[in-house]
Amino acid sequence: MNNDSSNGAEKQDFFNFLNTHKVSLKKRIENAKDIEFLAGLPFPLSAVGENAVLNMIIGDAGAGKSLKVRAVIGSILSDVRYKDDIVVYVDLEFQEQIAKQRKFTELLDYENFIYVDTELLEKLKDKYKTKVASTTIKNFLFELTNIYNNSRIIVFIDSFEDFIDDTSNDTELKRVFRSLLSLKSTTINFSHHISKNEISSNSMRFRGSMVIKAKLSALLYLKEKIDQNDRESLINLEILKMRAFYQGAKAISIVIDTDTFKMKSIDIVADKEEISILKAIYFILKENGELKKTDLRDKVREKTKKSKAKVEAVISKYSDFFDVSIQNKNTHYYSLTTKKDVIDKYLAMLGLGDSSLSDVKVNLLKELENIDDDKELNIEVKDERDTLIVYRDKKNIKSNIYTMSDFVASEILKKLEILKLQEFDEDEAVDF
């Protein structure tokens, strides 16, 4: 009896121990910060005080990885959302001529930008009494996190095989990644070359061990760079791995202004059927404010001609797109989320831009959804200063919608209405 009694007390103590931890764990999860992404890319950002995040972009040598990194850095430094962050570029392939060509001198004027070239790397090796690049950079980042303990540190390392000697050495990789992931408030974005061997799986195209992919939060493959004109390059990336991003996202296209070296536009390519349903949901809730779930589903089905099961699956899958209020046990009312960072990420995915857009611009985007992407428009409007502006097509309007005035947006809407009426008249015409 004594043994049974003792065993029972032991079980209760063990249960209490686990239950106490469960209560603590639930609280920690509930209070966790929402995940942020880097400049609209599917790269998670480490929050202040949180452990580091590792991301990687891979591609052939000369495919455009460094150009893409330069454009991301330029966009971040000119964005007020990142003014309190420290941005570090570790250029292990440094050449003065290339740095000059890509106008890095302009970035050096930013106080929160640190450029680690090969000369500074050697000085840091002397400072920390190390000979290995990965250990040197880790020590440098550790020092930065201590100095700037209330800031995020956003790091770009070009390239990974210059950062670590043997990318196939599991033991070395684990040691390096373990030390990097212990850093606080740090997001590290690697550039890496693809394997020259025949690879059956795209997700393993990088050079080296599977440990690399296992430790990353995001892995992107740069498939191609297309020079669209003298001032723009289009970079197409395939998403090979992503954590806590939109499940339907498969690829991402970035237009880079090669004059300013900034990202001009970002287009996240996802499941087209899901995207069409989410767009319908956005415009319906934007117009109605709040709807009972069944009413929302029926309105979306009417607009998209999709099945009840598909619409309900999308509503369930993208639950953070909504704020939900419960009137009674069986009646749920849906409205768009009031979390600006969440809605901004969804609108970027939908190609609709910033949630702070005025009503007239939202209406313009809504009207553009009814126009084919490849349709020539050649809309001419004049702005408030009587300057003539020509918009060639739907893409041209969407890429400029965030900078144009409400006046110009309203003028474009008028022109689109006229075009629609003209096309209607042509369709109604009868040949005898």
Residue 60 has pLDDT above 90, yes or no: no
Q: Is residue 167 domain-shared with residue 276, that is, in the same domain?
A: no
pLDDT, residue 431, reads: 45
Phi/psi of residue 388, nearest 5 degrees: -80, 130
Residue pointed to by tokens 């959804």: 369
The answer to whether residue 176 sits within a structural domain is yes
Q: Out of 206, 237, 269, pick the residue that ends a domain.
A: 269
pLDDT, residue 284, reads: 92
Can you tell me the distance from the alpha carbon of 59 to that of 80, in angstroms, rounded to the nearest whole number? 30
The amino acid at residue 369 is E
Q: Is residue 282 domain-shared with residue 252, that is, in the same domain?
A: no
The answer to whether residue 361 sits within a structural domain is no
Residue 245 has pLDDT above 90, yes or no: no
Q: Give me the mean pLDDT over the 236-255 stretch.
A: 79
The answer to whether residue 148 sits within a structural domain is yes
pLDDT, residue 430, reads: 45
pLDDT, residue 204, reads: 65
Q: Is residue 57 domain-shared with residue 193, that is, in the same domain?
A: yes
Which of 278, 280, 285, 271 minimizes the C-alpha distance to 303?
Answer: 280
Q: Output the average pLDDT for the chain.
A: 86
Strands 53-59 and 186-193: parallel
Kindly tell me the sign of the dihedral angle through the C-alpha atoms of 144, 146, 148, 151: positive
Work out the pLDDT band at 341, boundaries 50, 70, 90: confident
Lowest-confidence pick of 14-18, 239-243, 268-272, 366-370: 268-272
Q: Is residue 291 domain-shared with residue 258, that is, in the same domain?
A: no
Could you report the per-residue pLDDT of 1-53, keeping only the tens digit for each?
A: 456 666 778 888 899 999 999 999 998 888 877 778 888 788 889 988 888 99
pLDDT, residue 157, reads: 96
What CATH number has the domain bearing residue 331?
A: 1.10.10
The answer to whether residue 397 sits within a structural domain is yes
Q: What percent of the chain has pLDDT over 90?
A: 40
pLDDT, residue 130, reads: 93
Q: Is residue 123 domain-shared with residue 221, that is, in the same domain?
A: yes
Q: Is residue 63 domain-shared with residue 101, that is, in the same domain?
A: yes
The answer to whether residue 121 sits within a structural domain is yes
Q: Which of 350-354, 373-377, 427-431 has the highest mean predicted lDDT (pLDDT)?
A: 373-377
pLDDT, residue 272, reads: 78
Residue 432 has pLDDT above 70, yes or no: no
DSSP SS3 for 196:
coil
The amino acid at residue 117 is D
Q: Is residue 44 domain-shared with residue 144, that is, in the same domain?
A: yes
Could you report the per-residue pLDDT of 82-93, keeping only the tens digit for each?
A: 989 999 999 998
The answer to whether residue 109 sits within a structural domain is yes
Kindly tell me the sign of the dihedral angle through the C-alpha atoms of 36, 41, 42, 48: negative
Q: Is residue 70 domain-shared with residue 181, that is, in the same domain?
A: yes
- Count the neighbouring beta carbons within 10 Å of the beta carbon of residue 397: 22
Q: Is residue 380 domain-shared with residue 424, that is, in the same domain?
A: yes
pLDDT, residue 244, reads: 63
Work out the pLDDT band at 122, boundaries 50, 70, 90: very high
pLDDT, residue 24, reads: 92
Q: Is residue 428 domain-shared with residue 397, that is, in the same domain?
A: yes
The amino acid at residue 357 is L
Could you report the per-residue pLDDT of 146-191, keeping only the tens digit for each?
A: 999 999 999 999 989 899 988 888 999 999 999 999 999 999 999 9
Can you tell me the distance from the alpha carbon of 53 to that of 37, in angstroms, rounded to the nearest whole number? 11
Task: Report the number of distinct structural domains present in the chain.
Answer: 4
The answer to whether residue 107 sits within a structural domain is yes
Domain span at residue 6?
1-32
What CATH number has the domain bearing residue 163?
A: 3.40.50.300
Q: Is residue 239 domain-shared with residue 292, that is, in the same domain?
A: no
Q: Is residue 332 domain-shared with residue 188, that is, in the same domain?
A: no
Q: Give me the mean pLDDT over the 281-296 stretch.
A: 92
pLDDT, residue 146, reads: 94
Can you tell me the distance from the alpha carbon of 125 to that of 136, in angstroms, rounded to the nearest whole number? 6
The answer to whether residue 363 sits within a structural domain is no
pLDDT, residue 425, reads: 59
Residue 198 has pLDDT above 60, yes or no: no
Residue pointed to by tokens 């070239």: 117
Integer CA distances (angstroms), 325 to 213, 333, 337, in order = 40, 5, 11
Work out the pLDDT band at 202, boundaries 50, 70, 90: low
Please list the residues that pair with 393 across neighbouring strands: 376
Rg, the chain, Cα only: 26
The amino acid at residue 237 is L
